[in-house]
Structures are given as C-alpha cells and as structure tokens.
Amino acid sequence: MDLFRHVSQNPFNDFAKVLLMLENFALCVCAYVLTRRVSLTVLALVASSVAWVACIHYFSYPWDFIESVLLTMLFLFAIRSERILPFVILFIFFVLSRESCIFVGLFLILRGVSPIAFGERIAVRALTWGAGLVVMSVAITETLRKMLFKASMLAGVGADTAHEQFENHFHYLHNGTVFLSASKVSLVYATIMLVFLACTYVGYREKEKNLLAIGVTMTLYTLSIFIFGILEEVRLYQPFTGMLALTAIYLLFETRSGRKWCSANLPFLARRGWIRT
C-alpha cells in the first residue's frame, strides 16, 4: 500500500473501496450471464452484501478483496467455460494474491476426473493442466514467501518462525471446539459448507460434471479453513460471499433440482415468474 501514498492519504481504505466496487460489478455480470434476469442479479448483489457485512472483521488484508473477485469469476468460468485458457488467466491473478491459487488447478483436476462418476472417460487435458497449475502454485507461493516475507508487524508474530514447521499450521482441534460451541462463527461456517455440499450433490444428481467439480473444489476449500485456518477469524469468509450468493441462486433457479424444490416449497416464486418451467 506504500506505493499508493502519493495519490491517497489512506491508500488501504481507497484500495478496499475500489476492490469492493469491482467485486460487486463482477458479481452482477456473472449473475446476469448465468440467469439472464435482472431480479436475480439484484438478489445476488443484496445477498452478497449482507453476507459481507456479517463477516466484517476488525482487520482485513488486500488479498481478501482480490480473492473475492477471483472466486466469483471462478464459478462463472466453471459453469460456462469448457476451455482451459480462462482458468490459466485466472490462475495468474490468483497466484499474486495468496496460496488459494492451488484451487484453480484442483478444479481442473476434478473436472478431468469427474466423468468417472458417470461412467465416462477421464478428460486428460484438464487433468494435466490442473496438475501443472497445482505444482506451480506451491512452487510460486513458497518462493514468494521466502523472498518477500521478512517480518510481520502484528504482535507476537514477528518473523513467524512458528510456521516454519508444517505441523504448526494445523488448527482442527481448536476449530472443532469452536464449531461445537454453536456460535455465530459456527453458523456462518456451516452455511458455507452446506451450500457447497448442495452444489456437489446437485452436480452429481444431474450429471453436470462442471457443477460437481466446482462443488467438490469449494467443499475442500472450506474444509481447508477448518484444518489450517482459525474459524473465529471471520475475515476468511468474506472472499466467499460473492461466490456463495452466486452458487445459491444458480442452484435454486438454474438447475432442475432447484426449480423443482422451489416450485414445491416456494410456489409464490413461480407465480411471480422467477422460476423457469
């Protein structure tokens, strides 16, 4: 952020404002491309904004805002693009954000192997590219960390020598206690996990390989927070908000299972024309 001090007295806040606007713009574009309805686009924007407010933390990092945009775009590409190039481009931006770029490669791997679930052949090209991106993501993030990270200004972190040992990254025992406490954090985490599990289920049920692959990818992403993250650090959930809203709306209004469920349980939506027949 020091690079921008000559154009702003509070560069981080201004950076956050610009990225939030970009995230909302990307979300609106993705929602409209997937649904072709303004009403659902507005609903996605409102739902994402409410979720973002619910996950407000006393501090955030620049890459949280970048990741929010990239995850939203990832869902659109996962559903609509059969090509590899969009994911490579997304990976390039992701890898400059943080180690979560590994999930772009993981999605391609899962897209490659998901046909097995339906008795079809593996998509070798997607599998190969995905494996390559996973290897690159690990190599690049480790290299950047060793080259660029010197010390943290946060109290008690400093040179962060505790995390030089891989086993010190595990927090699942602590997170298990937090999750079982039935707090706000537990509800937020459970909601995110349920949405992505539903995505996985619907993808498998409707034999939609891409939907299945992105559902499994994001389920594993959410699970990684439980294993390696700190559940009380709710800023970790902010990057999910746009993608979460997009996923829920797509499942409810753009899949056969979702439309059937809405027609049976929310008939007023059908009367208002929100559900395609």
Averages of pLDDT over runs of 10 residues in the chain (277 residues) are 58 78 93 94 93 74 80 95 93 80 93 93 95 91 73 56 54 84 86 96 95 96 89 85 94 92 76 64
Give the structural domain span for 49: 13-271
Cβ atoms < 10 Å from Cβ of 107? 27
Query: Is 60 part of any domain?
Result: yes
Query: Is 244 part of any domain?
Result: yes
Place of tokens 């294993």: 227
Query: Is 1 part of any domain?
Result: no
**CA–CA separation, 219 vs 226, rounded Å?**
11
Q: What is the pTM of this model?
A: 0.86
R_g of the chain, CA atoms, integer Å = 19
Q: What is the structure's pLDDT at 56?
A: 72
Query: Is 153 part of any domain?
Result: yes
Query: Is 87 part of any domain?
Result: yes
**Count of domains for the chain:** 1
For residues 73 and 27, is the Cβ–Cβ distance under 8 A?
Answer: no
Cβ atoms < 10 Å from Cβ of 263? 13
Query: Is 3 part of any domain?
Result: no
Sign of CA dihedral 20, 26, 31, 32: positive
Distance of CA 113 to the CA centre of its chain: 21
Q: What is the structure's pLDDT at 169?
A: 65
Q: What is the structure's pLDDT at 5?
A: 55
Query: Is 142 part of any domain?
Result: yes
For residues 252 and 262, is the Cβ–Cβ distance under 8 A?
Answer: yes
Q: What is the 3-state secondary structure (H, E, C) of the chain?
A: CHHHCCCCCCHHHHHHHHHHHHHHHHHHHHHHHHHCCHHHHHHHHHHHHHHHHHCCCCCCCHHHHHHHHHHHHHHHHHHHCCCCHHHHHHHHHHHCCCHHHHHHHHHHHHHHHHHHHHCCCCCHHHHHHHHHHHHHHHHHHHHHHHHHCCCECCCCCECCHHHHCHHHHCCHHHHHHHHHCCCHHHHHHHHHHHHHHHHHHHHHHCCCHHHHHHHHHHHHHHHHHHHHCCCCCHHHHHHHHHHHHHHHHHHHHCCHHHHHHHHHHCHHHHHCCCCCC
Backbone dihedral region for residue 20 (phi beyond 0: left; psi -120 to 50: alpha; all else: beta): alpha
Place of tokens 């998901």: 114
Query: Is 80 part of any domain?
Result: yes
